[in-house]
Amino acid sequence: MSTPRQLQALVSDIINNHPSAQFEYDPLPSGVCILAVSLNGREFELDYHPKNGTGVSENFANTVPFVGHDQVFVSLDDATARFKALLTNAALHGDPARTRTAYVMHDKPISN
């Protein structure tokens, strides 16, 4: 099976609009395509199945594997649009955990 044009366009969009993104694209002989993207400290996955629809998820450190997707779409166009929106948000805002201010506590007693 060939890769759907929407997925080809999505990969091209990632390369052109998010050059710092790291991604893995795995088109399987069955027609299933898996796209995993890491951008600005956030992890996303799109799983396309030609007969069962497309799942889109943001994965976190505590995300349990193989429990399903955050959203499932019948339309591949809708799924790729949602995936692009997630990537745009990640590019603009990044991982909130990475942008928190760190405070250091000193081991010296406070003098009165």
Residue 52 and residue 50: Cα distance in Å, rounded?
A: 6
Report how far apart the first and last C-alpha atoms of the chain are (Å, whole number): 75
pLDDT at 107 over 60: no
What average pLDDT does the structure give for the chain? 86
Residue 99 confidence (pLDDT): 44
**pLDDT of 65 strictly over 90:** no
Position 104 confidence tier, pLDDT thresholds 50, 70, 90: very low
> Which DSSP helix (H) or strand (E) runs through 83?
helix 76-93
As a whole number, mean pLDDT of residues 95-106 equals 50
Does position 25 have pLDDT exceeding 80, yes or no? yes
Residue given tokens 């591949």 in the structure block: 76
pLDDT digits (tens, 9 = 90+) for 33-58: 999 999 999 999 999 999 999 999 99
